[in-house]
Amino acid sequence: MRKLFLCLGVLLLLGSSLALSACRAPTAGDLQKRLAREIKGINSYHGQMEMRIASGDSVDRYEAEQWYLAPGHYRVDVRLPHGLGQRFITDGEVTHIFEEELEEWFQVENTAEHSPRPPFLLSSYWENFLDARHIALLGSEKMEKRTYYLLEVIPRDANPFREKEIFWLDSKTLMPMRIETYDDQGNLRAELVFHEIRLNSKIEMDVFAVEIPEEPS
């Protein structure tokens, strides 16, 4: 009987320890590992976002819509502050850029030394987060019935205009809702807000078609 009570006591202690472990707040490292696991299962995504960039005394506002289809197809449509747009389409080997103002396509070959990527890519922000030189969990905040983790990220390629970033990550999906960029003086230089991110959505290859008009003969 004494052995039975001893065994029950050990189990209760173990159970309490496991419960405490399961309920503890995640660390920044925990969130990095979890995001690394999550993105392995992502084969496509579609997102809509806006970026506000400080330029002197004014703030320029960009809007963008983006698509990704594994293994390496990306498309980003950007609406510039003056109203005209750009389109970036890449398959990992060649990047095509359409300038609406010029009504012309440009082609850039990707090489080992130079591999241009479309701007504002969701996957680029994942990479910055996972490859950060330093990362710290600042806490969490609730907004519109959702909880977000706030993390301070020191990029590996930080510079005076991009000294640190504050990531607002959805606590359920770990997708970014907001990313703030600060310079070495603590000034807010840029703010990116994702309005919608749909993971593993059905995306047809037609989305990445490059329609270059034939030159008149």
For 34, residues 6+ apart whose C-beta sits below 8 A from its C-beta are: 26, 174
Residue 4 confidence (pLDDT): 42
In the CATH hierarchy, which fold is given to the domain comprising 27-203? outer membrane lipoprotein receptor (LolB), chain A (2.50.20)
Domain boundaries, the chain: 27-203
Q: Distance between CA atoms of 87 and 208, rounded to whole angstroms? A: 10
Residue 23 confidence (pLDDT): 58
Q: Distance between CA atoms of 178 and 141, rounded to whole angstroms? A: 12
The two beta strands, 188-199 and 44-55, are antiparallel
For 70, residues 6+ apart whose C-beta sits below 8 A from its C-beta are: 42, 43, 44
State the amino acid at position 66 in one-letter form.
Answer: Q
Residue 7 confidence (pLDDT): 43
Q: Distance between CA atoms of 19 and 61, rounded to whole angstroms? A: 47
**pLDDT tens digits for the chain (217 residues)?**
544 444 444 434 444 444 444 457 899 999 999 999 999 999 999 999 999 999 878 899 999 999 999 999 999 999 987 788 999 999 988 999 999 999 999 998 877 666 677 889 999 999 999 999 999 999 999 988 899 999 999 999 999 999 999 999 999 999 999 999 999 999 999 999 999 999 999 999 999 999 876 665 5
Q: Distance between CA atoms of 179 and 136, rounded to whole angstroms? A: 14
Query: Phi and psi for 72 in degrees, rounded to 5?
Result: -155, 25
Q: Distance between CA atoms of 215 and 102, rounded to whole angstroms? A: 15
The two beta strands, 85-90 and 94-99, are antiparallel
Residue 143 DSSP class: E
